[in-house]
Amino acid sequence: MEDLSNIRIVLVNPLYGGNVGAICRAMANMGLKDLVLVEPAALNLAEARMMAVAADSILKSRREVATVAEAVADCGLVMGTTARGGLYRAHVKTPREWAPRILESAAKGKVALVFGRENSGLTNEELAICTNLIQIPSSPDYPSLNIAQAVMICCYECYVAHGTFVPAEEMSPECPVATREQMFKMWREMLIEIGFMKEEKADHMMLGLRRIFGRAPLTEDDVRILMGVARQTMWKAGQDAE
Amino acid sequence: MEDLSNIRIVLVNPLYGGNVGAICRAMANMGLKDLVLVEPAALNLAEARMMAVAADSILKSRREVATVAEAVADCGLVMGTTARGGLYRAHVKTPREWAPRILESAAKGKVALVFGRENSGLTNEELAICTNLIQIPSSPDYPSLNIAQAVMICCYECYVAHGTFVPAEEMSPECPVATREQMFKMWREMLIEIGFMKEEKADHMMLGLRRIFGRAPLTEDDVRILMGVARQTMWKAGQDAE
């Protein structure tokens, strides 16, 4: 169960104590422990405790932080959940499809599953920091799940997959978010510098690059190489300009 | 989605409106519609509506009945949910394992998924009327799921399986519960009559027989034959006694 305890549940701006409590119970049911809340509302903790039942220890040991970036800074894989499709969301997969990938990452370090607001999900900025996106199969007539239900299904798929999981052969450590974000920042500057994109389109274009680099695990070596590419390109662009 | 709407969710003595509402939403998320409550407590309907959100129509169209037998009388397959193992519970499978079997039955008629009380599950008498048992995989440290979460996982597995489901070749119609119960009643009498079991052990012994006959679908033809066996055996036993 060690791998499972490396899976962190991140809730962005949760509003209802009852949901947070139900999520603690769902996590305990499926062998998870690590709960981080990003800027929670003033939660009704009595309601949270009532719904957590015997998972009160997860509620007590929750951490509260100010941003998604902070919540996932030490994670390799960051899975965002979304109910919507769309251009840069084409690479969305189901929790069952992602479960082996999540366990592969969790066998080596921290993984985050990020869930958005009860009413409006994750912002595009928050989705951008995610390496991959999860969409839970649901009826087109009413696709929007309660957040505690969405968390349960994702935890359940990890738990079930864990039962039959065989980790892949060892490889170099997966790159943590903080370093990867530095790399994306360098690429953003570089791509503007070389005239590949304009400042006003940059955030949108970067979503595409994030998807490309998010499709498979990025190791620390990979990110070092990508940073080198950006650095060298900027140097060369600066040279040509002279 | 026609097959899915043949799947009925049966809640025995539900206590909390919030849970019932959350279950309505989970059902709608996964393409189900048919909700039956067995002797519900005085539910907080405001809380139920709040949790049902856009699935209010399922809440409104719920039926309330007095017994599990009544709730499932027109069903072929009756799946009971249990958190416990034990002698006659050896044939318990996971919702993922049962999903194809549930869809096979739902392609031809009504199927019930029966969920017990929030605090104490289903009684042995209620479990006996179930043809099969479902156990949701969960952590041994905290195996007990909130009822709305348990319903969601079962509905979700049916929904996901439905996406890839190919119905088996046609066969004679599955026997409804009411007729099957008549058959079990005849077998019970017959087995006492022939001295296979004593009255005081009969209910316990019948659980074993129910498991045996519950392992695969029983058609109307099957049940006619089994009734014939019981009738003939009793006639013969009566003859010998003369």
Yes or no, beta carbons of B137 and A153 under 8 Å apart: no
Average pLDDT over residues A83-108: 78
The closest of B146, B133, B63 to B102, measured between CA atoms, is B133
Encoding tokens for residue A76?
């390799």
Average pLDDT over residues B106-117: 94
Would you list the DSSP string of B97-152? HHHHHHHHHHTTS-EEEEE-BTTTB--HHHHHH-SEEE-----TTS----HHHHHH
pTM: 0.76
What span, in angstroms and rounded, lies between the C-alpha atoms of A173 and A158? 21
Predicted pLDDT at A1: 59
Q: Residues A186, A154: one domain?
A: no
Domain ranges, residue A35: 2-162
- CATH number of the domain bearing residue A26: 3.40.1280.10
Q: Residues B127, B203: one domain?
A: no
Q: Residues A56, A146: one domain?
A: yes
Q: Residues B157, B92: one domain?
A: yes
B173 min Cα distance to partner chain A (Å): 29
Yes or no, beta carbons of A54 and B1 under 8 Å apart: no
Q: Residues B67, B186: one domain?
A: no
Burial class (CB in 10 A: 0-12, 13-18, 19+), B222: middle
Q: Residues B16, B65: one domain?
A: yes
B59 min Cα distance to partner chain A (Å): 15
Yes or no, beta carbons of B141 and A31 under 8 Å apart: yes
Average pLDDT over residues A171-180: 82
Q: For residue range B41-51, list pLDDT tens digits in order.
A: 999 999 999 99
Q: For residue range B31-68, list pLDDT tens digits in order.
A: 999 999 999 999 999 999 999 999 999 999 999 999 99
Which of A213-217, A222-226, B4-8 tops mean pLDDT? Answer: B4-8
Predicted pLDDT at A16: 95
Residue A29 lies in a domain: yes
Predicted pLDDT at B176: 87
Closest chain A residue to the Cα of B54, Cα to Cα: A142
Residue A17 lies in a domain: yes
**For chain B, where are the E strands, in sequence order?**
7-12, 34-38, 63-65, 77-81, 111-115, 132-134
Pairing of strands B111-115, B34-38: unpaired
Instruction: Provide, as residue numbers in chain A, all residues whose Cβ is less than 8 Å from the Cβ of B118.
Output: none
What span, in angstroms and rounded, lies between the C-alpha atoms of B95 and B116? 16
Instruction: Provide, as residue numbers in chain B, all residues whose Cβ is less than 8 Å from the Cβ of A18.
Output: 18
- Half-sphere CA count of A194, side-chain side, radius 13 A: 15
pLDDT of residue B144 exceeding 80: yes
Predicted pLDDT at A93: 86
**Residue percentage of chain B with pLDDT more than 70:** 90
What span, in angstroms and rounded, lies between the C-alpha atoms of B166 and B127? 29
Residue B172 lies in a domain: no
pLDDT of residue A166 exceeding 80: no
Tell me the average pLDDT of chain B.
88
* Residue B54 touches partner A, C-beta closer than 8 Å: yes
Report whether B16 contacts B146 (CB < 8 A): no
Q: Residues A183, A143: one domain?
A: no
Predicted pLDDT at B219: 82
Q: Residues A97, A139: one domain?
A: yes
Residue A172 lies in a domain: no
Predicted pLDDT at A217: 74
Residue A220 lies in a domain: yes
Predicted pLDDT at B170: 45
Q: Residues A136, A181: one domain?
A: no
* Residue B5 touches partner A, C-beta closer than 8 Å: no
* Residue B160 touches partner A, C-beta closer than 8 Å: yes
Question: In total, how many domains does chain B have?
Answer: 2
* Residue A55 touches partner B, C-beta closer than 8 Å: yes
Residue B171 lies in a domain: no
What span, in angstroms and rounded, lies between the C-alpha atoms of A76 and B115? 39
Q: Residues A83, A6: one domain?
A: yes
Yes or no, beta carbons of A25 and B146 under 8 Å apart: yes
What span, in angstroms and rounded, lies between the C-alpha atoms of B26 and B29? 5
A202 min Cα distance to partner chain B (Å): 36
What span, in angstroms and rounded, lies between the C-alpha atoms of B139 and B1? 32
pLDDT of residue A147 exceeding 80: yes
Q: Which of B162, B186, B206 is the last residue of a domain?
A: B162
Encoding tokens for residue A157?
């798929």
Residue A169 lies in a domain: no
**Residue percentage of chain A with pLDDT more than 90:** 53
Closest chain A residue to the Cα of B160, Cα to Cα: A137
